[in-house]
Amino acid sequence: MSIKHRLSSKGFTLIELLIVMVIIGLLAALVGPRMFGQLEGSKSKTAKVQIEMLGAALDAYRLDMNSYPSSEAGLGALWTAPVTGDGTVASGWRGPYLKKPVPADPWGKPYLYRSPGQKGEYDLFSYGKDGVEGGDGDNADVVSWQ
């Protein structure tokens, strides 16, 4: 066997590698935008699920405390015991009502909470990706009352 034949049978040529890289680039260009579009839609779904879980924790809090946390106490009352005016823990609190501290929404902003709410006993919501009330698509509000 000649030296030329042994060298040509090892590895890939530069042309072959370039063709493979072009094919991978084309696939990424076609599939990438679709995957990132799905990612944003999943953030809205995640926010909805988190709001439902926080709502269940708020209901458990209400059973123990006979009311939802005030707007001032906020969602933090689900994780940390509220303190009365004389510095003692509020009676009836059997928390924490969450396994972990209250998470931020999928866009990194805190969930907004009002009690009493304008739409129900409490309002729990996120303004979505843009952080501004209203919007549609990825910028749509995710709310507890719908």
According to the 3-state scheme, what is the secondary structure of the chain?
CCHHHHHHCCCCCHHHHHHHHHHHHHHHHHHHHHHHHHHHHHHHHHHHHHHHHHHHHHHHHHHHHCCCCCCCCHHHHHCCCCECCCCCECCCCCCCCCCCCCCCCCCCCCCEEECCCCCCCCEEEECCCCCCCCCCHHHCCEECCC
Flag whether pLDDT at 81 surpasses 90.
no
pLDDT, tens digit, for every residue of 42-70? 788 888 999 999 999 999 999 999 999 98
For position 89, what pLDDT does the model report? 77
Flag whether pLDDT at 126 surpasses 90.
yes
Flag whether pLDDT at 144 surpasses 80.
yes
Provide the phi-psi class of 107: left if phi over 0, else alpha when psi is between -120 and 50, else beta: alpha
Flag whether pLDDT at 13 surpasses 60.
yes
Does the domain spanning 38-143 belong to CATH 3.30.700.10? yes
For position 39, what pLDDT does the model report? 59
pLDDT, tens digit, for every residue of 86-125? 777 778 888 799 999 999 999 999 999 999 989 889 999 9
Flag whether pLDDT at 83 surpasses 90.
no
pTM over 0.75: no
For position 2, what pLDDT does the model report? 52
